[in-house]
Structure 1
């Protein structure tokens, strides 16, 4: 059995996407896979079981049959953290070992999804290097390339120092297309000279930072009053309609697949937005739009979401939701799998893991 631990240098770097993409590729190649997220901090409820929301999505996306308690064994919520600070003892290492024994049973490959950085969990003995040693895992690090190159390099070199020979390599994710040549010609060779192979350089795709209209509605605690059947559609951009109607149409044409946030009392701006590539109108102030707007939106296939908040608050909440997008929509999964097939060096990955490539 092979164990691959996937961690990252920053939060929201693409670990979950990589777990799904690799997991499905392994399954396609005929391997039986398991998955575990040893340490979680974001929780929700499924039935009576308190679980990690992202890990719950992973269970569905990968068709996992293992129990929830095995897939996400340790949750560091505020109560658990306070207990640690007070000196209350719990053997978290033993909990993870027991859970791993369950998820690895009759599996060829087990994917472990780590925290937002390799040091997460150090306080309870569950940092990336400690877990990797415990379960004899190789470690793949995801680095989101949205900061200066020197920051990315420093983070990866620090991980290499922590993980040593267990660090299999790195995936550079979210690289702006005008920086791809720079990364391939300069960053990748620099890392290679320091024994950090690059398995993939993945370009930035707006769809991966998109959210569904339903997710925006949930975050804003708003109602979808027009075309609720489009709640699953993805929004890739946010625009604020606070300008004069003379400039609105030109402004809205700059971005595609967007949500336009504007006051519920601005039918002129709303009509301009409906003339462009708009997925959703978010109307602020809890003001119901003119029936003309609703009819036009129905015809154009545009959802209308009412927000009880003012425009500034609505923008803040929507931007925060976009920045913390989750990876569970099938459209994202399919697009990521295609990109992974184009960019990942699977020969290097399989060789590093000691796996023969199968044709599934």
Structure 2
């Protein structure tokens, strides 16, 4: 079987971006690429057929039109979980193998997308480790930097998967971590038999989110400069400090949304005049007429939310970490980064295509 499983040490690690980057590069090199996602955690219906949201998106970008029931043979719904936990889900792996065999028969290589971590789905026997073993496919594992890298996990994966593991990709690595990576972590992984296929540096654009999407995710609404709701937010800054201190921080974070109380017109005005991408006003407090007018003139949207500043900041942190890789700009940027930073030729050689 000519499959390449794209797994990760945790959810939201960049599997879609890297799978797309690999798939698009292989297609450019005249490789007939297929796609499947054996276990789907985001069930949706399209054209009368149930499938996984990520799988539909990936097929669209790769120019594929495969049967969604084959692409994602196991869909995790509430009913599925209930049956699985009570031991009623049998022969799921057999179903995955049959679907994969059918999809792969007409392809040079099939990309197999993981869901969650390599151990997600263990409760019903369809975790990534088990899928790789049962399909006998090759595997690439992504580890996204989150305060540190999960080096122990990667070493365990080498033992668990053996020769099936082609290597690992270290994603979203900040420049400040590079010395530790080069001097300690990379030599450790090499000694452990774990090949590092590439190190992808942190890129603010890939974690960015549109103002309109941000308003929706925060259960808020845009109240001004609606025509600029497609502006992109890369980070956020909390405007609870005195204006002088806020201005110092703001100059260093120009592409950050400003989260501030609706009663802090002094900070709001500084943020507007400084050209921030948007302002998020908390506590369901509307700004005064001067702020609204400047917002329209400068074309900087204002979002109103009900929650307090701290709660909104926590939500923002999660959103920027977990926002889906969907926009055309992100796809282009991500594909370029993958082609530049990952040893795709080595992967191709290991796949024999």
Fold similarity call, TM over 0.5: yes
Aligned-pair CA distance for 1:74: 1.2
- Paired with 1:160 and 1:213, the residues of 2 have a C-alpha distance of 41
2:283 is matched with: 285
Matched, 1:61 2:54: no
Distance across 1 between alignment mates of 2:352 and 2:341: 20
Report the CA distance between 1:25 and its aligned residue: 1.1
Q: Kindly state the Cα deviation for residue 105 of structure 1 after the two structures are TM-superposed.
A: 4.2
Q: How does 1:1-360 map to 2 (within 5 A)?
A: 2-46=2-46, 49-148=49-148, 152-355=150-353
Aligned residues: 353
Residue aligned with 1:10, SS: coil
Mapped to 1, the partners of 2:338 and 2:310 lie a distance apart of 38
Q: Are the equivalent residues in 1 in contact too, given 2:262–2:282 (CA < 8 A)? A: yes
- Contact map agreement 2:223 2:301 (CA 8 A) in 1: yes
**Counterparts of 1:65 and 1:261 in 2: how far apart (Å)?**
42
Give the equivalent residue in structure 2 for 1:358. none
Flag the 1:62–1:316 CA change in 2: closer, same or farther, 3 A: same
Q: Secondary structure at the match of 2:271?
A: helix
For residues 229 and 19 of structure 2, the distance between their equivalents in structure 1, rounded to whole angstroms, comes to 26
Query: Aligned to 2:126, what secondary structure does the other structure show?
Result: coil
Q: 1:71 to 1:213 in 2, by over 3 A?
A: farther
Higher alpha-carbon deviation: 96-105 or 157-166: 96-105
SS at match of 1:188: helix
CA deviations on 1:210-258 (whole Å, 9 max, x unpaired) are: 2222221111222122233333332111111112233332232121211
Q: Is there any run of 5+ residues in structure 1 with no aligned partner, and where?
A: 356-360
Q: Matched residues in 1 for 2:259 and 2:308: separation?
A: 10
Contact 1:253 1:277 in 2 (8 A): no
In structure 2, distance between residues paired with 1:276 and 1:105: 57
Q: Is the 8 A contact 1:184 1:201 kept in 2?
A: no
RMSD: 2.2
Matched residues in 1 for 2:191 and 2:244: separation? 56
Mean Cα displacement is larger for which, 234-243 or 73-82?
73-82
- Residue 322 of structure 1: SS of its match in structure 2? helix
1:156 Cα shift?
Answer: 0.6
- CA–CA distance in structure 1, aligned partners of residues 41 and 78 of structure 2: 9
* Conservation of the 8 A alpha-carbon contact between 1:219 and 1:318: no
Q: Deviations over 1:76-130 (max 9, x none)?
A: 2333222122222332123222332343242222111113222222232222232
Moved more, 231-240 or 45-54: 45-54
State the alpha-carbon separation in 1 of the partners of residues 183 and 343 from structure 2. Answer: 16
Shift of 1:155: 0.5
Task: Kindly state the Cα deviation for residue 45 of structure 1 after the two structures are TM-superposed.
Answer: 4.8
CA distance in structure 2 between the aligned counterparts of 1:213 and 1:324, rounded to whole angstroms: 16
Q: CA deviation at 1:131?
A: 1.6
Alpha-carbon distance between aligned partners in 1 of 2:171 and 2:195, rounded to the nearest angstrom: 14
Report which stretch shifted further, 289-298 or 275-284. 289-298
Q: Deviations over 1:276-335 (max 9, x none)?
A: 241111112223323332332233332211212232332232222223221111222222
Write the deviation string for residues 182-203 of structure 1: whole angstroms up to 9, x where unpaired: 4234422332233221110111
TM-aligned CA distance change 1:262 to 1:148, over 3 Å: closer
Instruction: Say if 1:282 and 1:306, in contact at 8 Å, map to a contact too.
Output: yes
- Supply the distance in 1 between the matched residues of 2:102 and 2:210 (Cα, whole angstroms): 34
